[in-house]
Amino acid sequence: MPEEAFPVTTSEALTDGLRVSVEARYSPPHSSPETGRWFFLYTIRISNESDETLTLQARQWLIHDATGRVEEVRGEGVVGEQPELAPGETFEYTSGCPLPTPFGSMTGHYEMLRRDGSTFLARIASFDLLMPSALH
C-alpha cells in the first residue's frame, strides 16, 4: 500500500496568534514491526497570525507509546533552524518519530520569542501516531 494511502491524524492549536497545525502518518519504509520499530512522519505548519514578528527558539515534545512510557525531547529550534516569522508568514517542516509500539501520541510546545524580548509557549495539540491495523 503506498504511503499516501495510510490515514492521516491531525491536530491544531492557536496560542497568542501562532497557529500550529500537524498532520501525521505511519511510514512503512522506515518501519520494521518484526523488530519492534514503528516509524511515523509528521508535518508541522507554523503560521504567524499575530501582528508581531516571532522567532521559534526551542521545542519540547512528550512522546507517549502504547505501554504508557513517556519520552521527553527538548532542543533548540526545529530541523536545525530557528525560524523567524513576520506577521502572515508560515514555516513548514517534516520530521519523524520511532516508537516501540504500533500506536502512541505526541504533544508539546514551542518557545517563541517576541521582538521585545518576551517569550511565550505555543501549544502543539496532541496528535495520534497510528499504524492503520493497530486498533482493529
Q: Whole-model pTM?
A: 0.92
Q: What is the DSSP letter of 130?
A: E
Phi, psi of 35 (to 5 degrees): -110, 15
pLDDT of residue 136: 41
Residue 91 CB neighbour total at 10 angstroms: 16
The answer to whether 89 and 83 are in contact (CB under 8 A) is no
Phi, psi of 69 (to 5 degrees): -70, 140
User: Measured between alpha carbons, how far is 67 from 64 in angstroms, rounded to an integer?
Assistant: 8
Listed by start position, the domains of the chain span 3-130
Superfamily of domain 3-130: ApaG domain (2.60.40.1470)
User: Measured between alpha carbons, how far is 41 from 109 in angstroms, rounded to an integer?
Assistant: 18
Phi, psi of 88 (to 5 degrees): 90, -10
Model confidence pLDDT, tens digit, residues 102-126: 999 999 999 999 999 999 999 999 9
Model confidence pLDDT, tens digit, residues 62-82: 999 999 999 999 999 999 999
